[in-house]
Amino acid sequence: MNSPILKTFSSIVLFRRAFYKYKRGIAALIGLGFLSGILGGVGIGAIIPLFSFVSGQIAVNDPVSKILKWAFGVIGVEFSLSLVVTILVLLFVFKAVFLYFANLISAKVALDYERRTREELFKHTMVANWHYLKDHKIGYLSQMVVDDINVSASLLSNISMVILSATSVIAYIAVAVGISLSVTIAAIIIGLGMFFIFKPFFFKIRKLSKQAVRISKEAAHYINQHLLGAKTVKSMAVEDKVLEGGMAYFKELARAKFNLARYNNFMGNFLEPLTLAVIIPIFLFSYKSSSFNIASFAAILYLVQKIFSFVQTIQIRISLINQGIPNLTAVLNYQTEAKRHKEQVGGGDDFKFDFSLKFEGVVFNYDEAEEKILDGLNLTVNKGEMLGLIGHSGSGKTTIADLLMRLFEPKSGKITVDGKELSATNVARWRKNVGYVSQEMLLLNDTIANNIRFYGDGISDENIIEAAKLANIYDFITQRPENFNAMVGERGLKLSAGQRQRIVLARVLARKPKILILDEATSALDNESEVAIQNALEKLRGKITVIIIAHRLSTLSNADRLVVLENGKIAEEGSPKSLLENTNSRFYQIYQAGTGKQ
């Protein structure tokens, strides 16, 4: 069932879910809106006795004039022109004050929602588990944290305007009924008819907006993806094809937004002539009445015009709300999903690694339907050892690294440290003692020092210098005029790949890890840069446990022990020299096939 009633109910549920914590602010808006509406309505009604004084028609029988005369009589004040003008001015001044505070509350609530939601969304993203994060596109996440939350906050502002306008409509109708019940009823009936005529447009706008949001997210992902890979795009001379794909997204997005504008403009521009079409029959109806009074008619005409103006505002704001619902839905759904996938890092024992780390019958696959990546793996890593892992793509090398970093847990089997299950160790404390360097180098557009420190407040300048020396990057840094304060550029593009990799290695070493994992860390480096990394590793031999994942024989040649993986299991293990001397070994075959050659 997809009826308008169900859609309206689902929207109310959605708003309650998103904005319930701001119920006091919204209640204050309703109160202030109603008060400003009453004051505005009474102020307009007070124009009637004012016109009566000016025209000399003192005997006016409208309710507002009667109430004013009665009130002045009670307090013993003469009902005069100057007093009516004073009251009229005060009514509109107080109305302006109430509206000022209402708009102030509306802005404060919207900005508070925007700030809190952005903080929560970013927090939930940062603490979500890796299994959840790896399935999300970077363009989607960045657009959601910035754009979707902006739209959701403006949606709250639009709801506030609907509340203010609706309460004003109620107040104005109450005053209008007091002046002329029949004229007011006629105006309301016609107004409701107009509202229901435009109602299908609201749901059409929501549908078009949902489409625009989807296209916008896909376009953001497409742009991010190709900007990050701009060097590859240029080197392969495919700029035209990339531009063609981007233009297709932009055209589709423009088309969706044009359709939205078409419906919005139709609603906004045609309401004014329809309002005039309502006012003319009302005038003719009132003019032929024997009790016709120009002052009363002018007041009620203004009230009706204001009511229709508020109705127009409500319709426009509802249209904008319908446009924002897909963005709000996306934000709420992501919040719920990210919360559900929060990584459990608290609790557990302190880090301890004195003897050995073992994989005991470990089985792992990302999804139940997928083939097993690790299939009953049994692997021992001794403390202080330099262990090399090699194998074809998909053999499970990086998965071993992911399991060691506690990004995933085994489906079955266990990982133990000194005979105790790794799962019993506190995740955060474990990770602080495990350093990871991959071929994907994340460098901030900041100084070399800050890239090595990388949010480690406890890392001193002395630690940074020591780590730079260990990573064989110290001499390069000190030869630069700015020294450690040199900027590395966006994603470190001012540096060579080898320099970037050694800064990343220094970043890890500055944290003094007990276990260091290098996952294809030298695969994209030239021979000179690789030698520099190897020399850095030699300085660490025996001091920390090093696990090297690589394809190059040169990278693995200094390992104490080499493990060859095949189909998620150990095919063979031994020293690089002994395996290479055995012409029947898998490692020898890999070397001969060219994987280990330089």
Please report, for the domain that includes residue 415, its CATH number: 3.40.50.300
Same domain, 242 and 253: yes
**Predicted pLDDT of residue 316:** 76
Q: For residue 439, what are the domain limits?
A: 434-511
Same domain, 280 and 237: yes
**Predicted pLDDT of residue 90:** 82
**Predicted pLDDT of residue 81:** 65
Position 9 in a domain: no
**Predicted pLDDT of residue 551:** 76
Question: Which residues does the chain have with pLDDT short of 70?
Answer: 1-5, 7, 44-81, 84, 137-140, 183, 187, 190-191, 194-195, 198, 202, 225-239, 267-272, 274-279, 282-298, 346, 368-369, 523-526, 593-598
Same domain, 186 and 280: yes
Position 528 in a domain: no
In angstroms, rounded to a whole number, what is the distance separating the alpha carbons of residues 558 and 188?
A: 88
Domains identified in the chain, total number: 3
Same domain, 99 and 229: yes
* DSSP code per residue over 2-52: --HHHHHHHHHHHHHHHHGGGHHHHHHHHHHHHHHHHHHHHHHHTHHHHHH
Encoding tokens for residue 174? 């109450």
DSSP code at position 547: E
Could you tell me if 333 and 213 are in contact, meaning their C-beta atoms sit under 8 angstroms apart? Answer: no
Please provide residue 58's backbone torsions phi and psi, each rounded to the nearest 5 degrees: -70, -35
Same domain, 170 and 217: yes
3-state secondary structure of 225: helix
Encoding tokens for residue 285? 């109806």
Position 5 in a domain: no
> Which of residues 278, 305, 340 is at a domain's end?
340
**Predicted pLDDT of residue 204:** 75
Same domain, 305 and 401: no
Contacts of 209 (CB under 8 A, 6+ apart): 260, 322, 323, 324, 325, 326
In angstroms, rounded to a whole number, what is the distance separating the alpha carbons of residues 226 and 242?
A: 8
Same domain, 210 and 129: yes
Please provide residue 545's backbone torsions phi and psi, each rounded to the nearest 5 degrees: -90, 130
Cα angle, residue 170 at apex, residues 164 and 176 outer, rounded to 5°: 130
Helix 81-127 vs helix 47-55: crossing angle, to nearest 10: 160
Same domain, 402 and 478: no
Q: Give the chain's radius of gyration (CA, Å).
A: 36
**Predicted pLDDT of residue 244:** 82
**Signed CA dihedral, 155, 160, 163, 166: sign only:** negative
Describe the strand order of the beta sheet including 412-417 as a list of residue ranges: 374-382, 356-364, 412-417, 420-421
Same domain, 125 and 83: yes
Could you tell me if 406 and 358 are in contact, meaning their C-beta atoms sit under 8 angstroms apart? Answer: no
Residue 460 CB: number of other CB atoms within 10 A? 11
> Which of residues 486, 511, 536 is at a domain's end?
511
Position 556 in a domain: yes
Give the global pTM.
0.68
> Which of residues 279, 314, 340 is at a domain's end?
340
Nearest-CA neighbor of 117 among 317, 327, 322? Answer: 327
Looking up residue 83, the CATH number of its domain turns out to be: 1.20.1560.10
Same domain, 303 and 374: no
Same domain, 128 and 261: yes
Give the total residue count for the chain: 598
Same domain, 134 and 231: yes
Per the DSSP assignment, residues forming a β-bridge with 412 are 363
Percent helix, strand and coil across the chain, each rounded to 5? Answer: 65, 10, 25
Per the DSSP assignment, residues forming a β-bridge with 342 are 128
3-state secondary structure of 108: helix
Could you tell me if 173 and 39 are in contact, meaning their C-beta atoms sit under 8 angstroms apart? Answer: no
- Helix H or strand E segment including 546: strand 545-549
Q: What is the dihedral of CA 474, 476, 478, 483, to 10 degrees?
A: -110
